[in-house]
Amino acid sequence: MSNILDGKVTSNQIKEELSQEVAALKASGKRPPHLAAVLVGNDGASLTYVGSKVRSCEKIGFDSTLIRLEDTVTQVELLETINKLNNYATLDGFIVQLPLPKHIDEEVVLHAINPDKDVDGFHPTNFGKMALGMETFIPATPFGIMELLRRYKLDISGKHAVVIGRSHIVGRPMSILLSNKGNPGNATVTLTHSRTQNLAEITKAADIVVSALGVPNFVTADMIKHNAIIIDVGITRVPDENHPKGYVITGDVAYDDVKDKASFITPVPGGVGPMTIAMLLQNTMLAYKRNS
Ligand code: GUN
């Protein structure tokens, strides 16, 4: 029987800590931190995530602004919006929700964000600082996973961590953070991806597996070793007529199959997802402190 790494409870603790900090700021006459989110188009999942981010801001007393643009917006218009946000003095940080429509070059857009306001940590300046172990904005999903490991006091030093997926948002930064000096950190990391051969042989040798692949129920019990720590980043919407929403959010890990073999496991939902939002808020607090 494995232990659950409860991202819901942990993220609520972080949000409570932040809301106390905000209350103290306001009591001393200061303005609260301010986060903005730019959402292009009407993608259902993106709407849900951005909605959660804005609601979480309100809950802890941050100011928040949601900027919605049509999916026909041109790259030049989007860059103009980013330029305005870059120069808006009392805006501490902002994000451009991904994915963007195909006619917009994601790299150009992300590189236009002022690194001091890049609370997603996607700008090369911040990504580079993260890789060098310097203080910076760390991408919220891997940051949330590191924070879960830290708060549950799981020692990964010297252990073999296997990351599945090499995206710029999760897998790649995750592999860097796990191997960086620090606690949690100091792991021996293997970064696997779509071209990896004999993946199951590699995951079977892992003390910790982080799956950020987006393939439902991909990681099965036969792919892991006894007492491994299993972190599930998958949040795929799988159609399900029996569910009122018409889909169920499904992780990369076959939870029922794996849960008795793992030592610790993150559920989906209620694992990594809520941590992502909490760490975005934490990055915004850091941006605020630097900006005031
Ligand atoms: N799309 C999926 N995850 C993220 C994230 O962490 N930040 C942004 N901006 N877009 C995303």
Q: What is the pLDDT of residues 71-92, one digit of tens each?
A: 999 999 999 999 999 999 999 9
Q: Are strands 236-239 and 247-250 parallel, antiparallel or unpaired?
A: antiparallel
Q: Give the angle 190-99-53 at the CA atoms, nearest 5°.
A: 90
Give the distance from CA 56 to its chain's centroid.
15
Residue 119 near ligand 1, beta carbon < 6 Å? no
pLDDT at 36: 98
**Cα separation, 45 vs 271, whole angstroms:** 17
pLDDT at 175: 98
Percent of the chain with pLDDT over 90: 99
Residue 120 alpha carbon to ligand 1 centre in Å: 7
**Cα separation, 208 vs 156, whole angstroms:** 8
Write out the two tokens for 210: 């982080």
pLDDT surpasses 70 at 269 = yes
Residue 97 near ligand 1, beta carbon < 6 Å? yes
Measured by CA distance, the residue closest to atom 3 of ligand 1 is: 98
pLDDT surpasses 80 at 100 = yes
Q: Which residue intervals of the chain are DSSP H helices?
A: 7-27, 44-60, 75-86, 106-112, 124-131, 140-151, 171-179, 199-204, 255-258, 272-291
Atom of ligand 1 nearest to the CA of 140: 6
pLDDT surpasses 90 at 2 = no
102 a catalytic residue: no
Residue 98 near ligand 1, beta carbon < 6 Å? yes
**Cα separation, 210 vs 187, whole angstroms:** 13
**Cα separation, 185 vs 176, whole angstroms:** 9
Q: Which of 6, 118, 120, 232 is catalytic?
A: 120
**Cα separation, 129 vs 40, whole angstroms:** 28
CA-nearest of 244, 267, 249 to 52 is 249
53 a catalytic residue: yes
- Is residue 150 left, alpha or beta, with left meaning phi > 0 and alpha meaning psi from -120 to 50? alpha
Atom of ligand 1 nearest to the CA of 96: 9
Beta carbons within 10 angstroms of residue 142's beta carbon = 30
DSSP states of 43-109: -HHHHHHHHHHHHHHHHHT-EEEEEEE-TT--HHHHHHHHHHHHT-TT--EEEEPSPPPTTS-HHHH
**Cα separation, 235 vs 273, whole angstroms:** 8
The C-alpha R_g of the chain, in whole angstroms, comes to: 19
Please, what are the domains in the chain? Answer: 30-114 (3.40.50.10860), 140-274 (3.40.50.720)
Q: Are 163 and 210 in contact (CB under 8 A)?
A: yes
Residue 141 near ligand 1, beta carbon < 6 Å? yes
pLDDT at 193: 98
* Mean pLDDT of the 199-220 span: 98
pLDDT surpasses 70 at 1 = no
8 a catalytic residue: no
Measured by CA distance, the residue closest to atom 9 of ligand 1 is: 97
Atom of ligand 1 nearest to the CA of 46: 1
Atom of ligand 1 nearest to the CA of 95: 9
Residue 120 near ligand 1, beta carbon < 6 Å? yes
Bridge partners (DSSP) of residue 80 are none
Site to substitute for ligand 1 among 43, 98, 281, most atoms within 8 A of C-beta: 98
